[in-house]
Amino acid sequence: MLAVTGCALVFVLGGMAQRLRLNPGDLNTHGFPDVGATLLAVAVAVALGVEVLLFCAFALHDRAVVRGTYRVEDPGALVWPVLRPFCWLVILPSLAGVAVLASRVAGSHGPLRVDQRVDDRLVYRLSPLRPMFGQLVQLGSPTGVAVLCALLALGCVARRRVRAAILAAAGPSLAGMSTEYALKPLIGRHKGHLFAFPSGHTTGAVAVAVTITLFLLPTGAFAGLPRWARLLLAGLAALLASLLPLGLIVLRYHYASDVLAGAAVAVAAILTLALLLDAVARRGTATASRGAARAPAASP
C-alpha cells in the first residue's frame, strides 16, 4: 500500500506541478524541464511516506497492545529489540555516504554538479515560501535544538524514563557539536566565508526528529501517550526532517549535499547513542542479577 501510494503521488504531483504556477511564467522552461518537477514530487512523496509509516506503526502498536500479542522484554529500551540488528543497516550506509561526499567536497568552495542541478530547481519552485522557511529553519539553530531537547527531556523525566531523558538531553547536542566543531573544520568546505559541510542546522533538526521517532516506538518513552499527542509529535518529527532541510536549500544557506550529509550524521549519531545506552543498561541489569544470585540466602 505504501509503495502504491508513493508511486501515485509521484505521478500526480509530477503531472500537476506545471499547473501550480508557484512562480510567474511557464514552469516548463529550457532550464527547468519536466524532470525537475518529477524529482520534487519524489521528495514530497518520500516525506509523506515517512509520515504514513509512523501512522501505521501507531495503529499496529495499539492493536497489539489491545490484543495482548506483544511482549516487552526491556520496558526502558530506546530501540525496540526487534529493530536493533537493522539499525546497523542504517548507521553504516549513512557513515559511508558522508565519507564519500566528504572526499568530493573537502577543501572546496563551490557546489557539486548535483548541487547545481537540485538547488536551482528548488529555489525556482519554492522561492515564494522563503518567509515561511526563514522562520522554520530557526528550529534547527543551536537555541532551537536546545529548547526542543529540554522539552523532550522534561517529558521523559515526567514519565520516569531516565534512559530516554539522557538521550533527549545529550543526543542532538552531541550530534550538532560533532558537526560544528569536528567535521566542518576537518572537511573544510566553504560557502561564502563559513564552513558548510555537513549542515549543522540539518544535523540538529534531524537528530531531534530521530529522537522523537525512537520515543514513539512500542517501547519508547512516549508510546503510552494519547494518540493525538503521538500524532502531533510525529508531525513535528516529519517537519524537522523534511521541510527544514528543504528550507536551508531554498534560502541558499547550504548546498543539497550539505543537507544530505547533515541528516546522515544525525541518524547515525542518535541510533548509535541509543544502542550504546541500551547495551550499558542491559549489562548493568545482568551484573545486578548475577550479584543477587551469588548473594548468600538470608537466615530464617
126 plus 220 within the same structural domain: yes
Looking at the structure, do residues 122 and 256 belong to the same domain, yes or no? yes
What integer is the mean pLDDT of 2-23?
A: 53
Are residues 206 and 248 located together in one domain of the fold? yes
**What amino acid is encoded at 3 in this protein?**
A
Share of the chain above pLDDT 90, in %: 3
Q: 102 and 213 share a domain?
A: yes
Contact 266, 204 (CB under 8 A): yes
Same-domain pairing of 81 and 206: yes
Looking at per-residue pLDDT, the higher value among 204 and 125 belongs to 204
Q: Are 54 and 156 in contact (CB under 8 A)?
A: no
Task: Determine the structural domain holding residue 53 and report its residue range.
Answer: 1-70
Residue 295 lies in a domain: no
As a whole number of angstroms, the distance between CA 88 and CA 67 comes to: 31
Average pLDDT score, the chain = 75
If you average pLDDT over residues 202-214, what whole number do you get? 89
CA 203 to chain centroid, in Å, comes to 8
Q: How far apart are the first and last CA of the chain?
A: 63
Looking from the CA of 172 toward its CB, the CA atoms found within 13 Å total 34
Tell me: the pLDDT tens digits for 102-113?
A: 888 888 787 777
pTM check: above 0.75: no
pLDDT at 180 over 80: yes
**pLDDT tens string 251-292:** 888 888 888 888 889 988 999 998 888 888 777 665 665 666
pLDDT category, 176, cuts 50, 70, 90? confident
Clarify whether residues 98 and 221 are in a common domain: yes
Interval 193-213 mean pLDDT: 87
Checking if the pLDDT of 235 tops 80, the result is yes
Residue 72 has pLDDT above 50, yes or no: yes
